[in-house]
Amino acid sequence: MHTRRCVTHRVRVVDVFDHELDLRSLGFGEINPAVTGRPAYHPAVLLKLHICGYLNRIQSSRRLEREAQRNVEPMWLTGRLGPDFKIIADFRRSNGAGICNVCKRFIAMCRQLADQAAAQLIHLEDPATVSVANTDNVCHRVQAPEPAPSPTLRRRL
C-alpha cells in the first residue's frame, strides 16, 4: 500500500501530522492501554481516521466505519484496522476537547502550507506576464458581434 500512494498525497500529510502530535498534552486520555483485557485502539489511529473523514466530509461514525473497510486511504492510515462505529463514536465522545485542539492545529497547518505555496507561486510568476481580467478587457456575450446571416438560409414567417 505504501507504493500506491504518491509522496505528496494528502493522506501522507495526515500521517506525518499525526506522528508529530503529543496526544497527552492535547487532551487525549487512555494512551497507555490497561494490562488486563483486550488492547484498545491507539488514539492516534482513530484520530487519523477522524481527520481523513474530515477531509472527505464524512461525519457519521457508521460511514467512517464503511470507508475504513472499503477505501484505500483510511486503510493505509489505520494499517488495515477496521474499528467499529461504536468505537469511533465513543472515541469522539470521550475525546471531544482533544479533537477540537487537533482540528485547530490541522487547519492552522493547512493555512500555513497554502500561504507557503502561494508565496512560491508569486515568486515564480513573472511580473511582465501578469494578466488582468477587468470589465474593460473581458468580452461578454452582450458585446460579442452577431454572426452574419447566411444568404442560403431563409426565414419562415
The domain locations on the chain are 10-129
How many other C-beta atoms lie within 10 A of the C-beta of residue 77? 25
Give me the pLDDT at residue 133, please.
54
Exposed / middle / buried, residue 12 (Cβ in 10 Å: 0-12, 13-18, 19+)? middle
Helix-helix angle 61-70:43-55, to 10 degrees:
100
Question: What average pLDDT does range 101-128 have in this prediction?
Answer: 74
Residue type, 137: N
Give the pLDDT confidence of 23-79 residue by residue, as tens digits: 888 888 766 666 776 777 888 899 999 998 888 888 899 999 999 999 888 888 888
Give the model's pLDDT for residue 153. Answer: 54
Tell me what the mean pLDDT of segment 111-134 comes to: 62
Distance CA 69, CA 62 (A): 11
